[in-house]
A and B are shown apart, each in its own frame.
Chain A
Amino acid sequence: MHIVVCIKQVPDSAQIRVHPVTNTIMRQGVPAIVNPYDLFSLEEALRLKDRFGGKVTMLCMGPPQAEEALRKCISFGADDAILVTDRAFAGADTLATSYALAAAIRKINSEQKVDMVFTGKQTIDGDTAQVGPGIAKRMGLQLLTYVSRIIETDLENNTITVERRGEGGVQVLKTALPCLITMLENTNEMRFASLPMMIHAAAYQVRKWNKDDAGIEDVSKIGLKGSPTVVSRVFGPTPRSEKAQIFNLETTSLRDVSLTLLQSIFTVHPTLEQDLVEKFSA
Chain B
Amino acid sequence: MSKKDFDVIVVGAGPSGNAAAYTAAKAGLKVLQIERGEYPGSKNVQGAILYADALERIIPDFREDAPLERHIIEQRMWVLDDASFVGSHFRSEDYNKPPYNRYTIIRAQFDKWFSSKVREAGALLICETTVQNLIMDGDKVVGVRCDREAGDVYADVVILADGVNSTLARKAGFHGEIKADNVALAVKEILFMPEDLIKQRFNVKDEEGVVIEMIGKITEGMMGTGFLYTNKDSLTIGIGCMLSDFKKNENKTSPYTLLENLKRHPSVAPLIEGGEMKEYCAHLIPEGGFFAVPKVYGNGWMIVGDSGGFVNAVHREGSNLAMTTGRLAAETVIAAKAAGKEMTTATLKAYQKALDESFVMKDLKKYRDMPKVFHDNPQFFTTYPELLNKAARTMVTVDNIDKKTKEREIFASFKTARSFKGLVGDAFKLWRAFR
User: Using a Cβ cutoff of 8 Å, how many contacts connect chains A and B?
Assistant: 56
On chain A, the residues within 8 Å of B125 by CB distance are 202
Q: How far is the CB of A62 from chain B (nearest CB, A)?
A: 16
A195 touches B146 (CB 8 A): yes
User: When each residue 11-43 of chain A gets 1 if its CB lies under 8 Å from chain B and 0 otherwise, what string results?
Assistant: 000000101111000001101000000000000
Q: A198-B129, A203-B124 are in contact. Are A192 and B149 (CB under 8 A)?
A: yes
Task: Decide yes or no whether A187 CB sits under 8 A from chain B.
Answer: no
Query: Considering only CB atoms, which chain A residue lies closest to B149 in the complex?
Result: A194
Q: Contact check: which of A28, A29, A194, A202 meets B148 at CB < 8 Å?
A: A194
Within 8 A of A (CB), among B188-212: 192-194
* Docked complex Cα distance between A219 and B51 (Å): 48
On chain A, the residues within 8 Å of B151 by CB distance are 194-195
Query: Considering only CB atoms, which chain B residue lies closest to A75 in the complex?
Result: B126
On chain B, the residues within 8 Å of A193 by CB distance are 148
On chain B, the residues within 8 Å of A22 by CB distance are 194, 233
Which one of B106-114, B156-164, B419-427 is at the interface? B106-114
Task: Decide yes or no whether A199 CB sits under 8 A from chain B.
Answer: yes
A194 touches B150 (CB 8 A): yes
Task: Decide yes or no whether B276 CB sits under 8 A from chain A.
Answer: yes
* Docked complex Cα distance between A75 and B192 (Å): 38
Q: A20-B278, A31-B39, A31-B42 are in contact. Are A195 and B106 (CB under 8 A)?
A: no
Task: Decide yes or no whether B153 CB sits under 8 A from chain A.
Answer: yes
Q: Contact check: which of A28, A198, A199, A203 meets B106 at CB < 8 Å?
A: A28
Task: Decide yes or no whether B32 CB sits under 8 A from chain A.
Answer: yes
Query: Considering only CB atoms, which chain B residue lies closest to A194 in the complex?
Result: B149
On chain A, the residues within 8 Å of B39 by CB distance are 31
User: When each residue 187-211 of chain A gets 1 if its CB lies under 8 Å from chain B and 0 otherwise, what string results?
Assistant: 0000011111011011100000000
Number of residues on chain A facing chain B (CB within 8 A): 19
Task: Decide yes or no whether B152 CB sits under 8 A from chain A.
Answer: yes
Q: Contact check: which of B112, B152, B233, B276 meets A29 at CB < 8 Å?
A: B112
A21 touches B108 (CB 8 A): no
Within 8 A of A (CB), among B115-157: 124-126, 129, 146, 148-153
Q: Contact check: which of A21, A31, A199 meets B126 at CB < 8 Å?
A: A199
Q: A29-B108, A29-B109, A194-B148 are in contact. Are A199 and B32 (CB under 8 A)?
A: yes
On chain B, the residues within 8 Å of A28 by CB distance are 67, 106, 108-109
Q: Contact check: which of A21, A31, A198, A202 meets B193 at CB < 8 Å?
A: A21
* Docked complex Cα distance between A202 and B108 (Å): 21
* Docked complex Cα distance between A198 and B150 (Å): 11
* Docked complex Cα distance between A195 and B276 (Å): 42
On chain B, the residues within 8 Å of A196 by CB distance are 150
Q: How far is the CB of B45 from chain A (nearest CB, A)?
A: 13
Query: Considering only CB atoms, which chain A residue lies closest to B274 in the complex?
Result: A21
On chain B, the residues within 8 Å of A194 by CB distance are 148-151
* Docked complex Cα distance between A196 and B146 (Å): 11
Within 8 A of B (CB), among A150-208: 192-196, 198-199, 201-203
Task: Decide yes or no whether B260 CB sits under 8 A from chain A.
Answer: no
Q: How far is the CB of B39 from chain A (nearest CB, A)?
A: 5
* Docked complex Cα distance between A31 and B128 (Å): 13
Query: Considering only CB atoms, which chain A residue lies closest to B197 in the complex?
Result: A21
B149 touches A19 (CB 8 A): no
B38 touches A31 (CB 8 A): yes
* Docked complex Cα distance between A22 and B194 (Å): 8
Most chain B CB within 10 A, of A19, A21, A193, A198, is at: A198
Query: Considering only CB atoms, which chain B residue lies closest to A196 in the complex?
Result: B150
B38 touches A19 (CB 8 A): no
B233 touches A21 (CB 8 A): yes
User: When each residue 29-70 of chain B gets 1 if its CB lies under 8 Å from chain A and 0 otherwise, what string results?
Assistant: 000100000110010000000000000000000000001000
* Docked complex Cα distance between A202 and B21 (Å): 15
On chain A, the residues within 8 Å of B278 by CB distance are 17, 20
B193 touches A192 (CB 8 A): no
On chain A, the residues within 8 Å of B109 by CB distance are 28-29
On chain A, the residues within 8 Å of B42 by CB distance are 31
Q: How far is the CB of B86 from chain A (nearest CB, A)?
A: 33
B126 touches A202 (CB 8 A): yes
On chain B, the residues within 8 Å of A198 by CB distance are 126, 129, 148
Q: How far is the CB of B196 from chain A (nearest CB, A)?
A: 10
Q: A21-B276, A29-B108, A31-B42 are in contact. Are A195 and B148 (CB under 8 A)?
A: yes
Q: How far is the CB of B100 from chain A (nearest CB, A)?
A: 21
Within 8 A of B (CB), among A62-116: 75
Q: Contact check: which of B112, B148, B192, B276 meets A192 at CB < 8 Å?
A: B148
Q: How far is the CB of B68 from chain A (nearest CB, A)?
A: 13
* Docked complex Cα distance between A145 and B125 (Å): 36
* Docked complex Cα distance between A278 and B278 (Å): 47
Query: Considering only CB atoms, which chain B residue lies closest to A193 in the complex?
Result: B148
A19 touches B192 (CB 8 A): yes
On chain A, the residues within 8 Å of B192 by CB distance are 19-21
On chain B, the residues within 8 Å of A21 by CB distance are 192-194, 233, 276
Query: Considering only CB atoms, which chain A residue lies closest to B39 in the complex?
Result: A31
* Docked complex Cα distance between A107 and B38 (Å): 34
27 residue pairs of the A-B complex, CB under 8 angstroms, read: A17-B278, A19-B192, A20-B192, A20-B278, A21-B192, A21-B193, A21-B194, A21-B233, A28-B108, A31-B38, A75-B126, A192-B148, A193-B148, A194-B151, A195-B129, A195-B146, A195-B149, A195-B150, A195-B151, A195-B152, A196-B150, A198-B129, A199-B5, A199-B32, A199-B126, A202-B124, A203-B124
Besides A28-B67, A194-B150, A198-B126, 10 more A-B contacts (Cβ < 8 Å) are A19-B233, A21-B193, A21-B276, A22-B194, A192-B149, A195-B126, A195-B148, A195-B153, A198-B148, A201-B126
B-side residues, CB < 8 A to A, are 5, 32, 38-39, 42, 67, 106, 108-109, 112, 124-126, 129, 146, 148-153, 192-194, 233, 276, 278
Which 5 residue pairs of A and B lie closest in terms of their CB atoms, listed nearest first? Answer: A29-B108, A20-B276, A194-B149, A202-B124, A198-B126
